[in-house]
Structure 1
Amino acid sequence: MKKRFWAGLLLAQFLLFFVFSKSVWMISFFESLFEIQKKTHQLLFSWIPFSVGDVLYVILGIFILYTIIKLFKKKERNRAIIKFLFVINVLYFCYQVFWGMLYFQPPILYKLSSQKEPDINKAKILALKYLEKCKASRTMVKEDKNGVFIISDLTSLQLEILQRQKTIPGYISSKKVSSVNSFKPSIFKSVMSFTGILGYYNPFTAEAQYNPQPPATTIPFTSAHESSHQLGFAREQEANFIGYLIGINSTNSDLRYSTEYFTLKSLLRFIIEEDPSFVKSVQKNYSEGMKRDRAFEKSFILKHQSWLDDFFGFTNNLFLKSNQQEGSVTYSYFIDLLLNYENNT
């Protein structure tokens, strides 16, 4: 009887939040609720030096493993299933209230005056523009003994991201900016390096997790991206766009270079199917420092290729599509936003 109750309650939740996702008023309510829980969670967890959210995930993993073991014991099977269904109900409810409903916010693209389809020729012009920007910014950052880009001061970089959130145009975002530094390296960093995951937002603790192991070119922009989730932008490509707005005009050279480099790579990924020769030409014109950074990135990826990369890529793709988003390897929405924003400025 209890199993049926908790299973039925979970189904009722699915239906309830599906109905909520169709209501503009309810989505607005959950946006307001997000601001309250974010502030509360950051006050509770930001001062702790390690990731509380990661610890919760470890406890959840242990619980799932414990439940699986109990399923093989006939006398304890029913109780284990009931406990599992209870935990799943609580987690699903908290996830949807804290975060899940934000995926149904009106797309940022609707806030831009021009909403044109991505144009390859405009993307090429923009790629050349960001190539020159990258070349200039690359001369202003520090290098290691091998001539590869390194971050000069990570704490200053994180504080700069929080400050730059205030400069996002009002017609794009009216979300409340927080000055609380809640960036934390993930305790799963070694596994993440073999999955291709650079960072993630923990909706249960409002912590922005990043992987400190990949090349430094990825870390500043990844941090800006995760801070966009902290602002309340759930869709991945919209978080990329908000991260772009945060970093592109920054006075911090590390953040600006990482943002420009990400933007250039995204444009080239968009262009390559139509004109691979153009992409090769642009890459040949990288500065020597950029070429060293690119070679280091490729070397890191080759060293960390595994079945985990394919598995997490597949599951992440399914997750994104189930939350009204394009797949993880699709960059067209970010390019949509970028090109339309460029038309407005």
Structure 2
Amino acid sequence: MMISFFENFFEIQKSFHQILFSWTPFSFGDILYILLGIFLLLFIIKSFKKKNRHSSILKILVLTNIFYFSYQFFWGMLYFQTPIIEKLPKGEITLDKKKKLALKYLEKCKETRKQVTQDKNGVFIVTNLKSLQKEILYKQSKLPNYISDKKAPQINSFKPSIFKNIMSFTGILGYYNPFTAEAQYNSELPSTYIPFTSAHESSHQLGFAREQEANFIGYLIGIDSNNLELRYSTEYFTLKSLLNSIVDEDEDFVKTALKNYSPEMKKDRLYERAFIHKHQGFLDDFFGFTNNLFLKSNQQEGTVTYSYFIDLLIHYEQQKQKESYQAIRF
């Protein structure tokens, strides 16, 4: 009952916030965080200059609690929604199933990669970001009813983050701002990341709080898209996720799959690896650790494993097979 209240409240506030903040070409949420950070810094400095420091510490704690309460009210309670996996058929997750899916998405990636644009170095590039964003919004409204009954307002509130340089060094691809309903993405990312990251953050805009469920909704948005850039990015993310879930059990299979990447896909992979290597460091490790704690504190697995997305993917594939069988039978 209580979770239903917060789901309904989110539907109202997300539409209101998107109308209120979507018109700005820059990230209003980023500006809000900068101003909040400056205010808190000045408040702390001013407070500790006073004689009564205990009172100042109390004020800081009160402000922190107000911020945390606001976050929970606008967003945090959505982590307690009914998990998507409970809406899908049950079934055993086996290594063989993951391998078959990996080979399937390897072939899909190869085929779609031939049809997208690349730069002079042969690396995939996004050519029309606005068209891609429009397609994501459209596909939000076409999600299966048994998985999502959330409203898709069709308001473009995708924003390149002002913090892109910091995000590149922290491993953060994008984030959703619950106070402005903006979907932030790191515009410095290789193009293989940007379409699916946008679909992922748009899933948060719909109201899917858990990270791996947002990945799954992003998958549903992009996998059958007529926008080839979105489809390739989604297929490529899915393939990488499957290979990551297999590597500990069968490293040779993953090595063989990587060798069988098309020449174009190998260039995309090398470009991604070069980007990651360039931005590795202390901040990447620190934010990876803190993000892991944050995910676990919000009923999630953490960054160590992406198995929940794979579970959702395989159960969904089983559902599609069941529907295909019934359609043929009747």
Q: Are 1:157 and 1:220, in contact at CA under 8 Å, matched by a contact in 2?
A: yes
Question: In 2, distance between residues paired with 1:87 and 1:48?
Answer: 28
Query: Partner of 2:80 in structure 1?
Result: 104
Question: In 2, distance between residues paired with 1:73 and 1:277?
Answer: 62
- 1:304 paired with 2:279, answer yes
- 1:61 paired with 2:37, answer yes
Q: Are 2:48 and 2:56, in contact at CA under 8 Å, matched by a contact in 1?
A: no
> What does 1:86-235 correspond to in 2, within 5 Å?
86-113=62-89, 115-235=90-210
TM-score by length of 2: 0.95
Q: Are 1:135 and 1:290, in contact at CA under 8 Å, matched by a contact in 2?
A: yes
Question: In 2, distance between residues paired with 1:253 and 1:76?
Answer: 62
Query: Partner of 2:312 in structure 1?
Result: 337
Structure 1 residue ranges, 4+ long, deviating more than 6 angstroms after superposition: none
> What does 1:311-330 correspond to in 2, within 5 Å?
311-330=286-305
Question: In 2, distance between residues paired with 1:85 and 1:137?
Answer: 52
Gaps of 5+ in 2: 321-330
Report the 3-state secondary structure (helix = DSSP H, G, I; strand = E; otherwise coil) of the residue aligned with 1:311: helix
Query: Partner of 1:260 in structure 2?
Result: 235
- 1:50 paired with 2:26, answer yes
- 1:280 paired with 2:280, answer no
Residue 339 of structure 1 aligns to which amino acid in structure 2?
I
Distance apart, 1:185 and its partner CA: 0.4
Query: Partner of 2:327 in structure 1?
Result: none
Q: Are 2:176 and 2:205, in contact at CA under 8 Å, matched by a contact in 1?
A: yes
Report the 3-state secondary structure (helix = DSSP H, G, I; strand = E; otherwise coil) of the residue aligned with 2:153: coil
Report the 3-state secondary structure (helix = DSSP H, G, I; strand = E; otherwise coil) of the residue aligned with 2:242: helix
Q: Are 1:117 and 1:336, in contact at CA under 8 Å, matched by a contact in 2?
A: no
Q: Are 1:195 and 1:309, in contact at CA under 8 Å, matched by a contact in 2?
A: yes
Report the 3-state secondary structure (helix = DSSP H, G, I; strand = E; otherwise coil) of the residue aligned with 2:170: coil
Q: Are 2:141 and 2:152, in contact at CA under 8 Å, matched by a contact in 1?
A: yes
**CA offsets per residue over residues 43-64 of structure 1, 9 Å max, x none?**
1100011111111111122123
Report the 3-state secondary structure (helix = DSSP H, G, I; strand = E; otherwise coil) of the residue aligned with 1:140: coil
Question: In 2, distance between residues paired with 1:116 and 1:64?
Answer: 50
Distance apart, 1:225 and its partner CA: 0.2
Distance apart, 1:79 and its partner CA: 5.0
Report the 3-state secondary structure (helix = DSSP H, G, I; strand = E; otherwise coil) of the residue aligned with 1:273: coil
Residue 199 of structure 2 aligns to which amino acid in structure 1?
A
Distance apart, 1:82 and its partner CA: 4.2
Report the 3-state secondary structure (helix = DSSP H, G, I; strand = E; otherwise coil) of the residue aligned with 2:169: coil
**CA offsets per residue over residues 103-138 of structure 1, 9 Å max, x none?**
00010000002x234211100000000000000000
Question: In 2, distance between residues paired with 1:168 and 1:102?
Answer: 19
Report the 3-state secondary structure (helix = DSSP H, G, I; strand = E; otherwise coil) of the residue aligned with 1:208: strand
Query: Partner of 2:328 in structure 1?
Result: none
Q: Are 1:70 and 1:77, in contact at CA under 8 Å, matched by a contact in 2?
A: no
Question: In 2, distance between residues paired with 1:232 and 1:118?
Answer: 27
Question: In 1, distance between residues paired with 2:155 and 2:66?
Answer: 27
Q: Are 1:116 and 1:336, in contact at CA under 8 Å, matched by a contact in 2?
A: no
Query: Partner of 1:20 in structure 2?
Result: none
**CA offsets per residue over residues 31-84 of structure 1, 9 Å max, x none?**
000000001101110001111111111112212322442354242634533442
Residue 256 of structure 1 aligns to which amino acid in structure 2?
R
Q: Are 1:182 and 1:207, in contact at CA under 8 Å, matched by a contact in 2?
A: yes
> What does 1:15-30 correspond to in 2, within 5 Å?
25-30=1-6
**Which range moves more in the overlay, 198-207 or 54-63?**
54-63
Q: Are 1:199 and 1:210, in contact at CA under 8 Å, matched by a contact in 2?
A: yes
Question: In 1, distance between residues paired with 2:199 and 2:52?
Answer: 47
Question: In 1, distance between residues paired with 2:51 and 2:22?
Answer: 43
